[in-house]
């Protein structure tokens, strides 16, 4: 079968198409034939070497399709089930993938494999950020960076459905239109100047209760400056590079602020947490509160082009790789 592996850490040129045998599921594992795989910023961190990995490495942490075989002792799945994953994967840039059954969820009626492949990693991230890391309540002012992106567009819609006052940031007028259509009450062009003063203005000087910051290096200081007293900065990604260190006294001076750097892999650790998180996401999608926008699809063999688009800020919503 076709798989895309990173030969070593580096730029997109390290990605190569390889022909590998279809893997065989061991005890407690399933073989998923993929209809689509999701593209995620984390894939670029593994490719570039920002996150440590053993090479050669088949990238990919999100996908969906049909269970083709089950290993010994598998209880959650049968051959023919529609299923998807977004945590604890790896090896997703391939036509088929072997996964531990407790890292995979069944797809309910009404959720297509393409939607699941576009939504599971990004949407479970939105779920834990907005319900568990900092639970957003009606009336809360929230700031969401890269609001037209994969995680950002799901988060914005989810925040709006909870009754929050949602301020998004983005880097083009077209993306700003999309963010406004996707749950943001206001959108700031953070490429055109400091966003923190604009956040203050939009919140009558108070600042926001929480900032969800997946951009990292370029936004961290502005995010801290956008917070209300006792607000929380959730820095959860490095799209512009890893966020710099923060002195505890900076948090004190900012108004007794909180800072956390969470990952999905610590919020979805068991099959129960997986079913809860994915279940809440599917509910949001099925109720119409959250629409999953698939901004682009690339053939799996063109994964390098997809990485270029993602790192070049050319994508909106979710991007799929089609095996």
Ligand X SMILES: NC(=O)c1ccc[n+]([C@@H]2O[C@H](COP(=O)([O-])OP(=O)(O)OC[C@H]3O[C@@H](n4cnc5c(N)ncnc54)[C@H](OP(=O)(O)O)[C@@H]3O)[C@@H](O)[C@H]2O)c1
Out of 74, 113, 227, 264, the residue judged to bind ligand X by CB under 6 A:
264
Q: Which range touches ligand X (CB under 6 A), out of 50-58, 69-77, 108-116, 210-218? A: 210-218
Q: Is 263 in the site for ligand X (CB under 6 A)?
A: yes
Nearer to ligand X, 31 or 176 (CB): 176
Nearer to ligand X, 77 or 267 (CB): 267
Nearer to ligand X, 25 or 89 (CB): 89
Out of 40, 157, 160, 223, the residue judged to bind ligand X by CB under 6 A:
40
Nearer to ligand X, 96 or 310 (CB): 310
Q: Is 60 in the site for ligand X (CB under 6 A)?
A: no
Q: Is 187 in the site for ligand X (CB under 6 A)?
A: no
Binding-site residue total for ligand X (CB under 6 A)?
Answer: 30
Out of 5, 182, 226, 238, the residue judged to bind ligand X by CB under 6 A:
238
Nearer to ligand X, 107 or 188 (CB): 188
Q: Is 50 in the site for ligand X (CB under 6 A)?
A: no
Can you tell me the distance from the alpha carbon of 235 to that of 12, in angstroms, rounded to the nearest whole number? 26
Nearer to ligand X, 30 or 208 (CB): 208
Can you tell me the distance from the alpha carbon of 284 to that of 142, in angstroms, rounded to the nearest whole number? 19
Q: Is 144 in the site for ligand X (CB under 6 A)?
A: no
Can you tell me the distance from the alpha carbon of 77 to that of 83, in angstroms, rounded to the nearest whole number? 9
Residue 40 CB, nearest distance to ligand X (Å)? 4
Q: Is 311 in the site for ligand X (CB under 6 A)?
A: yes
For residues 289 and 127, the answer to whether their CB atoms sit within 8 Å is no
Nearer to ligand X, 106 or 313 (CB): 313
Nearer to ligand X, 70 or 87 (CB): 87
Q: Is 315 in the site for ligand X (CB under 6 A)?
A: yes
Q: Is 240 in the site for ligand X (CB under 6 A)?
A: yes
Segment 83-142, which members bind ligand X (CB under 6 A)? 121-122, 125
Three-class DSSP labels, the chain: CEEEEECCCCCHHHEEEEECCCCCCCCCEEEEEEEEEECCHHHHHHHHCCCCCCCCEECCCCEEEEEEEECCCCCCCCCCCEEEECCCCCCCCECEEEEEHHHEEECCCCCCHHHHHHHHHHHHHHHHHHHHHCCCCCCCEEEECCCCCHHHHHHHHHHHHCCCEEEEEECCHHHHHHHHHCCCCEEEEHHHCCCHHHHHHHCCCCCEEEEEECCCCCCHHHHHHCEEEEEEEEECCCCCCCCCCCCHHHHHHCCCCEEECCCHHHHCCCHHHHHHHHHHHHHHHHHCCCCCCEEEEEEHHHHHHHHHHHHCCCCCCEEEEEC
Residue 154 CB, nearest distance to ligand X (Å)? 8
- Give the footprint of ligand X on this chain (CB under 6 A): 40-42, 121-122, 125, 146, 148-152, 170-171, 175, 214-215, 218, 236-240, 262-264, 310-311, 313, 315
């Amino acid at each position: 079968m076709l798989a895309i592996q990173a030969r070593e850490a580096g730029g997109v040129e390290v990605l190569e198409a390889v022909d590998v045998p279809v893997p065989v599921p061991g005890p407690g594992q399933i073989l998923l034939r993929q209809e689509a795989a999701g593209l995620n910023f984390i894939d670029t961190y593994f490719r570039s070497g920002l996150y440590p990995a053993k090479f050669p490495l088949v990238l990919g942490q999100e996908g969906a399709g049909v269970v083709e075989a089950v290993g010994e002792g598998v209880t959650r799945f049968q051959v023919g089930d529609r299923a998807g994953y977004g945590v604890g994967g790896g090896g997703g840039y391939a036509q088929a993938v072997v996964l531990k059954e407790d890292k995979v969820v069944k797809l309910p009626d009404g959720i297509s494999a393409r939607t699941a492949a576009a939504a599971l990693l990004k949407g479970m991230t939105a779920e834990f950020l907005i319900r568990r890391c900092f639970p957003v309540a009606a009336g809360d002012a929230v700031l969401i960076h890269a609001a037209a992106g994969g995680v950002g567009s799901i988060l914005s819609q989810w925040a709006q459905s909870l009754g929050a006052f949602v301020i998004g940031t983005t880097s083009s007028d077209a993306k700003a239109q999309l963010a406004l259509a996707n749950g943001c009450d206001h959108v700031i062009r953070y490429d055109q100047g400091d966003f923190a003063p604009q956040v203050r203005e939009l919140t009558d000087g108070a600042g926001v209760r929480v900032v969800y910051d997946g951009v990292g290096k370029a936004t961290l200081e502005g995010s801290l400056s956008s917070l209300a007293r006792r607000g929380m900065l959730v820095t959860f990604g490095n799209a512009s590079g890893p966020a710099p260190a923060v002195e505890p006294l900076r948090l004190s001076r900012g108004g007794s602020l909180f800072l956390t750097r969470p990952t999905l892999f610590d919020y979805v650790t068991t099959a129960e947490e997986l079913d809860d998180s994915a279940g809440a996401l599917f509910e949001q999608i099925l109720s119409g509160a959250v629409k999953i926008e698939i901004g682009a699809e690339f053939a799996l063999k063109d994964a390098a082009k997809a990485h270029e688009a993602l790192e070049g800020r050319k994508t909106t919503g979710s991007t799929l790789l089609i095996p």
